[in-house]
Structure 1
Amino acid sequence: MNPIIAGAARLSRIPWLCLCILGLTLLGATTEALAHAVAEGDKGYIQEITGVHLLPFVYLGAKHMVTGYDHILFLFGVIFFLYRLQHIALYVSLFALGHSTTMLAGVYFGIGINSYLIDAIIGFSIVYKALDNLGAFQRWLGYQPNTKLATLIFGFCHGFGLSSKILDYNISPDGLLPNLLAFNVGVEVGQLLALGAILIAMGFWRRSPSFLRHAYTANVVMMTAGFVLIGYQLTGWFVS
């Protein structure tokens, strides 16, 4: 029997990694804007400074990615069944390309999207990737959607999530482009750090007999976390 399908009978045996994923999401749900939130100190800094400040923006970008659990959940789903480094590099690069393009263009050209709606779409990206990992689309549609294209498109969505938040903070146009480029460099540094941590944890887990037994459960938990994000954001949109 397919080990992923067989895992459906073991939902009560949730591995520690799944608990960490769900716990991270629920903890993040208590923050100010759920996804793409910026700490109050960082928010004030962005609003008050003018001119070029490269290193601070590199730091802010790295901090955002490392603490951005929505990005981490999506990356976790993207690399879940990727074993070759060249495949991991390809998918992560596609995500980075999409994320960087819309973040830079969105802020520079003032393209804003309602934060609640774009963060709900980001939650949907997590649900989509979990369903993809579970083989749901092959069963439901009879074919496998292009995973590379999906990763790129959802990368665009993640970038708009961040650009919309930066626009809400009225960042100064003085030094805007250099600061944005520095921020994006920081985001990529943070993504590499987060990816490295995920790969180390996944490497240990994949060598254990529990990986295939609990792969189904891990993706169900990830999908649940995505639905939590969607529900939280849509509720915020309706009541705001």
Structure 2
Amino acid sequence: MSNHTCRLEQALLLVLLAFFSAAVLAHGVDDSTRSFLQQNSGVQFVPFLYIGAKHMLTGYDHLLFLVGVIFFLYKSRDVLLYVTMFTLGHSITLLWGVLGNIQVNAHLIDAIIGLSVVYKGFDNLGGFKRLLGYQPNTRLMVLLFGLFHGFGLATKLQEFQLPEEGLLTNLLAFNIGVELGQFAALAFILIAINFWRRLPSYERFATLTNTLLMSAGFMLMGYQLTGFAVL
């Protein structure tokens, strides 16, 4: 292996570790966004579009799950299919949760989102096949966990008791923003993964990445369940 290749692998590994280190940081609503949401009234399409995109780009739990989902997808058609399943799931429960005022405990929902990250890392490592002898339907699981991710997005917005005036339009703008942020993040992730697939260390990289996914998911679950327990 050349020195140039080693340096590239080390650089990519540092980026990967930095990305996973972000999992220990909160991705809640910052002060400026909080202030806007608390004072907002009427249709605010562009601001909600921006807030949705920013929330997805800083939403490490959603991104970690998506990393696991697309990690072993080699065809653009498959990436599009699975991302569409995830998008459909979280769009349904985001709108339903807020418009229907469906009250769910944010800590429990976020713990399930952490579980989704554990599931995908375990699945990618072939854990289900080795442990149970079969693999759950991956499309169905992505859709199912997408529903929980949508409730997670909904609980963030429900904290602010958004006014009814312009609510549907603002929610649609927020959801579009989430998709735009998701697209931007996926583009970067796919470039990094596709580049590493050409390197000799890809098999080690794949094992390490999915092990880190499981570790991050367990950390998220523990953090949220602790928060639920001390309420």
Does residue 105 of structure 1 match 2:103? no
Kindly state the Cα deviation for residue 47 of structure 1 after the two structures are TM-superposed.
1.5
Distance in 2 (alpha carbons) for counterparts of 1:21 and 1:133: 19
> Residue 20 of structure 1: which of 18, 21, 24 is its match?
18
Q: Could you tell me whether the CA contact under 8 Å between 1:46 and 1:171 is conserved in 2?
A: yes
Name the counterpart of 1:199. Answer: 190
The code of the aligned residue for 2:21 comes to G
Q: Could you tell me whether the CA contact under 8 Å between 1:112 and 1:163 is conserved in 2?
A: no
Name the counterpart of 1:212. Answer: 203
Distance in 1 (alpha carbons) for counterparts of 2:103 and 2:79: 31
For 1:98, what is the secondary structure of its paired residue? helix
For 1:143, what is the secondary structure of its paired residue? coil
Which stretch has the larger CA shift, 94-103 or 200-209? 200-209
Does residue 177 of structure 1 match 2:168? yes
Distance in 1 (alpha carbons) for counterparts of 2:30 and 2:113: 20
If the length of structure 2 is used for normalisation, what is the TM-score?
A: 0.92
Distance in 2 (alpha carbons) for counterparts of 1:160 and 1:111: 9
> Residue 144 of structure 2: which of 150, 153, 156 is its match?
153
Equivalent positions of 1:54-203 (< 5 A) are 54-203=45-194
Kindly state the Cα deviation for residue 143 of structure 1 after the two structures are TM-superposed.
0.8
The code of the aligned residue for 1:182 comes to A
**CA RMSD between the two structures:** 1.3
For 1:125, what is the secondary structure of its paired residue? helix
| Identical aligned residues as a percent | 53
Instruction: For structure 1, list consecutive stretches of 5 or more residues without a partner in the other structure.
Output: 1-13
Q: Could you tell me whether the CA contact under 8 Å between 1:133 and 1:219 is conserved in 2?
A: yes
Kindly state the Cα deviation for residue 39 of structure 1 after the two structures are TM-superposed.
1.1
Distance in 1 (alpha carbons) for counterparts of 2:210 and 2:15: 11
For 1:191, what is the secondary structure of its paired residue? helix
Q: Could you tell me whether the CA contact under 8 Å between 1:77 and 1:133 is conserved in 2?
A: yes
Distance in 2 (alpha carbons) for counterparts of 1:224 and 1:138: 20
Distance in 2 (alpha carbons) for counterparts of 1:235 and 1:211: 36
Kindly state the Cα deviation for residue 18 of structure 1 after the two structures are TM-superposed.
4.0
If the length of structure 1 is used for normalisation, what is the TM-score?
A: 0.89
The code of the aligned residue for 2:136 comes to P
Distance in 2 (alpha carbons) for counterparts of 1:180 and 1:15: 37
Q: Could you tell me whether the CA contact under 8 Å between 1:64 and 1:187 is conserved in 2?
A: yes
Kindly state the Cα deviation for residue 169 of structure 1 after the two structures are TM-superposed.
1.2
Instruction: For structure 2, list consecutive stretches of 5 or more residues without a partner in the other structure.
Output: 1-11
